[in-house]
Structure 1
């Protein structure tokens, strides 16, 4: 009986194997698109980059740049000038954007008109202070105190950074922000630290928390490594536009389903997601940001 059962399994396997054949799956026709990118900051002149896309299966990492486009910028719908081509696809205008104002870029190339617009964000009233060492915190790190005051929605991202000497080199790395306060958006929480949510590299504050907010939190990486002169522990606070906020959040979410360095998937259960773009008749992102740094500890 066992022989007969094994015999039929062999027959079924051979029949199934004989039905296998190679099928050529045609990829959709490639349609070249214009890529427009730029990040506006009040302390920098206006600059955007114009390039072309590459086919999906292309092994080339150098995107074809466009050097003969016409690029015009408008401030609150008033033309302020034509951007001049420099190199590597970059066009610049010797003009610094202002907080609260809107800037539109119009790119004319061959028979295409590509448009992107964004508004420079205002600075949110936020402060972070260093407290005393707390043995209950990860690595016995000090408490940190955040105070926030706002009357309207704003888009704020935080990064905690340690910079310290290791041998003859200066090591700079992002510290994991540790907090379970509801002000933090949990979309990119990567791990739990002693029952506390951890945010690697970036922590996004929910835009709809209004009023005066004060709370205590900490970081996971050792702050005690900041000892020598030139070492520092600081926070970078980034006020971003709504467009750039959507781009950042969608990019980090998409990263979860991308291959990791060892060939695995950062999050095998994540859903594919399209990265946000505010470019019409093309792809890319033209965003706006204001950044500032709060130094909490310096080496001596």
Structure 2
């Protein structure tokens, strides 16, 4: 599994062959995304959820995405260090991945890495995002169930009201609920959810659960909320629709990456540079230049 994910991250030449071999074995794992601002306890909550799923006898995979340095490109990959409770469990696989500058809280290669864990027999795949703030809405398109973590005293009640954050959550968790202001954060969240369109009949209304993940308090309630959401989206067909959208996005991303590679080769032959000179000189417009470029690519 480690070698396969390394092939994914490196964009190895054998990746197409690997994915073709994995395809018949994938499509069974329950993908749960966990996101939230830095310091809310994502890794602690993820560790607690791994323990809860293991108590059910399920095989669990964890992808923890860490931010990359804009200078060196490296990453500390510290989430794996914080999840040592399950390091010796053969039914738990934990992999840290660097975001490599990709925005949205995930790594560019996360969808393929999920497929590796899925095909390897993981019943549940937990994906923990970078944790950089409001940009982490990409997890909603990747997960079957999205969990948004917040904590009292961090202004998270206001953060949740901002564009994208409230909409992506299927389950909201107010962690560190032993702190002052937890009840107020829960109340604010429930009020904001009530203002949205999720109060209409037939739509999922996200529950708000209080936890103290470090002490495993409230984890049973989170598991119950996750189970209810999965049953809900399975019953009305939303689970299949989410997975189809996820794969459609993945296909588009792969196609665009291939196109960029071809564009790069073309640029090396001065094709793009020549067109740019024509645009700067006013001989053609950018749209006409783009059309000519696509013609050169045979698109």
- Shorter-chain TM band: under 0.3
TM-score when scaled to structure 1? 0.23
Higher Cα Rg: structure 1 or 2? 1
Q: Higher strand proportion, which one?
A: 1
Normalising to structure 2: TM-score of the pair? 0.23
